Every structure is written in structure tokens, then in C-alpha cells.
Amino acid sequence: MNSRDPPSKILLLIITYLPQSFPLTNDFLFETFKQYGEVKKILIFERGKTNKAFVEYNEVKQAIQARRNMIGKSLTPQGGKLLIHYSRLKQLDLEVVDHTRGSEYHSDDEETQPQQKSPLQSMTLPNSIPVSPPLIKPQSIEQISNDINQHKGIQKITQESPTKAIMETQLRQLERILDDDYEQEVAKIQLTQLNSNDFAIQELLNQQPSKYLKVSNLDERVTPRMLYNLFNRFGHLEALLLKKNIHQSILQFVNKENAIIAKELLNNVVFFGNELRILFQNAQNIQLQPCNHNEEYYQGSQTKFKIVPLTRVLQFSGITQLLEIQDMVKLVGKIQEIKLDSQTIQITMVDIYEALKVISVFSEYDYKGNKISLTLK
């Protein structure tokens, strides 16, 4: 199976992360997929942690609608994510050793009834030679009785098993088809994931240090001023452009050395619950002027701070109402310890991530006409 397979009335379901305790049955899949059209047959194959099943519809357009609506969804709240693709099987014959994995469904005027399918005749497989059934197939009394009662809409199929050798041959052919489908599907998924991340990977590999940084995965609470206060502590930052709709920002430092330091210290750290993703940006592609209402340009004080390693110990000074500062800090981050003297208050946060939040809010903060002096210890 590959991406060029045309639509088919037979769908291949690959069900992942389904709890082993979940009772996956033909009837459960029937109830799930019947809303998109007339389901004719269902065949389940269980392979360890991955379950696989065929669902055959009466018409191709029904299979297309089912795939469009169910692909990527989960069968249960606990798991069972669906990967759905068109099967290469031309005909789905319920050829299994036991009587529990394949079901055939027939529609009548009242309701759709599931019919259990016993071991089959030959299966039509793509690119393979059909295996013929025995020339003589005795019918059970129950089947003859069903033939008499067909006008009542009851059609039970209960043929006796073919010879063991024929059945095993057909099963091996079917397993090869399933294995081929599954392996190619896994390869396709991996390729799709690679393609979706290809740009990011190439961007990472092709990075060249510059004075511009792209910061991604920003929390929606982060403002331009908060972002400026944070990065200016770890490198002399000139200005930035915040793209609020995609939670991303472009930062411009005075030189690439300051950008390198800031990236080294802050890349992959957690800031307001999100792990920052930082990459160098090529200066040729940079435009810091906002283009729409979702973009905001910010140029801060450009105060040069002494660059120090990340720490969770912060010292506040420069104002008289020191006790009020601790109450304000508690609103932003979690405090572990407070030390107070006549001119300063030293606050130890529970971790550096809480400290970064406080730095972004209170760096050069004006409080009652006085500017707070915040130092990292």
C-alpha cells in the first residue's frame, strides 16, 4: 500500500495504542463505521500491540467518506488511534481458522444483522494466483434450511472448512498481504512525519550564528516587554517583533556574540509553562516592522546588565516598600525563602523557571515612582 493506491471499498484499519483489555470485536467496528454507509464485511487481525482490520463497504464512496471522517481519530477515550488506508485487496473473503474474527453483514427492511463467516472458499488476492476450493463441498443441514428461509432476510453462511493444506496456503497469502500493507504503511507514516519536520530539521542543521534569534513556543501570556526583560538580562537586546498569532518572536541583539550567549543560556528552558525553542535567523530574511495587528514591535531601555548564569536567587533594592515587593512577587512565582535587611530583600524562588518569570515582570519595574533594582545572585 502506498499513497498512490486508488480509493477502494475495502479499508485497512491500523489501530494503535488500544488498551489490551479493550474487547475489540467485529460488531464494535460495525457500530462505529455503519454511519457512513452499508458495511458488508469486517475482518480483524490482532498483532501484539497493534490491531489490524479490514472493513468492506457496499460502495467506494461510502469507504471514502468513512476514511475522511475517521482517520486520525481514536476508537476509545483510552486510545486506539486509527490509521486508515485503501486496501489493495480486490475481494474480502473471510478466510480465518476460527469462527470469531470475520463477520458478514446483510441489510434487510428491518435491520442489519451480523453473520459470522466460517472458513472460506478461495480469496482473490492482488498479484497472486487464486487457490481453488475443493471440487465437492458438503453443505450443512443448517445452510440448506437457510436457503429455504432466504425470503425472510436471514442468510447464514456455514460451509465446512476446506482442506487444511488449502486453508493454510490461503492464510499465508493473506498474512503476506497484511505484512506488506503494514510495513509500507509504517514507512509512509515515518516519511510523512519526516516531511512535516523537514523544514525545521534543515533550519536547525543550516544555522549560522547571527545577531538575530527566532524564539518559538511562547505562552500566550508572554508580552513583548516580558520577553525583552528576560533576554536583555542575558545579552544586550536592541529590539524585538512579537508574532502573537503564531506564538513566535524575532529578537535583534547588538551583535552575534550576545545572541550566542542568550541562546546558550535560554534555549529549551521552561518559560511560563512552555519550553522555549531558539534558533539563529539569517539577517537577509529579517523584517522587524509589524505587518498586521497580530505583530507588535518593541524596543526596550537597552540597559546593559552584567551577564550571569541562571539562578533562582533574586535581590531587590531601590525602593522603601520592600515588604510590598514580596507580596507582588508571590503573585508571579513560587517563593521558597525570603531574607530581609534594611535596604534589600533577597528572594529565593523554588526553581530557576519561577525566577525567570519574576525577572520578566519586575526587571526595571516602576513602583510608586521608583524603579526597582533587580539583581541575580
Residue 144 and residue 65 share a domain: yes
Residue 320 and residue 271 share a domain: no
Question: What's the CA gap between 268 and 192, in Å, rounded?
Answer: 25
Per-residue pLDDT of the chain (377 residues; tens, 9 = 90+): 444 568 889 999 999 888 888 888 889 999 999 999 999 999 887 666 788 889 999 999 999 999 999 988 888 888 888 989 888 887 787 754 444 467 888 765 444 444 444 433 334 444 443 434 443 344 433 443 444 444 444 333 334 444 556 556 656 666 666 666 666 666 666 565 555 556 666 666 677 899 999 999 999 999 999 999 999 999 899 999 999 999 999 999 999 999 999 999 999 999 999 999 999 988 887 888 898 999 999 998 888 888 888 999 999 988 777 788 888 999 999 999 999 888 899 999 999 999 999 999 999 898 888 888 999 98
204 inside domain: no
Which residue, 237, 264, 298, sits at the end of a domain?
298
Residue 148 and residue 125 share a domain: yes
279 inside domain: yes
CB 270 within 8 A of CB 352: no
pLDDT at 158 (0 to 100): 38
Residue 256 and residue 112 share a domain: no
270 inside domain: yes
Range of the domain at 127: 10-190
pLDDT at 286 (0 to 100): 83
Residue 268 and residue 325 share a domain: no
pLDDT at 349 (0 to 100): 95
Overall domain count for the chain: 3
Residue 370 and residue 282 share a domain: no
Residue 49 and residue 175 share a domain: yes
305 inside domain: no
CATH number for position 330: 3.30.70.330
pLDDT at 306 (0 to 100): 87
183 inside domain: yes
Residue 269 and residue 157 share a domain: no
Residue 127 and residue 228 share a domain: no
Residue 292 and residue 325 share a domain: no
Residue 294 and residue 317 share a domain: no
Query: What's the 3-state SS for 203-240?
Result: HHHCCCCCCEEEEECCCCCCCHHHHHHHHHCCCCEEEE
Which residue, 275, 298, 321, sits at the end of a domain?
298
169 inside domain: yes
pLDDT at 19 (0 to 100): 85
Residue 163 and residue 14 share a domain: yes
* CA 174 to mean position of chain CA atoms: 31
62 inside domain: yes
Which residue, 263, 298, 333, sits at the end of a domain?
298
203 inside domain: no
pLDDT at 183 (0 to 100): 63
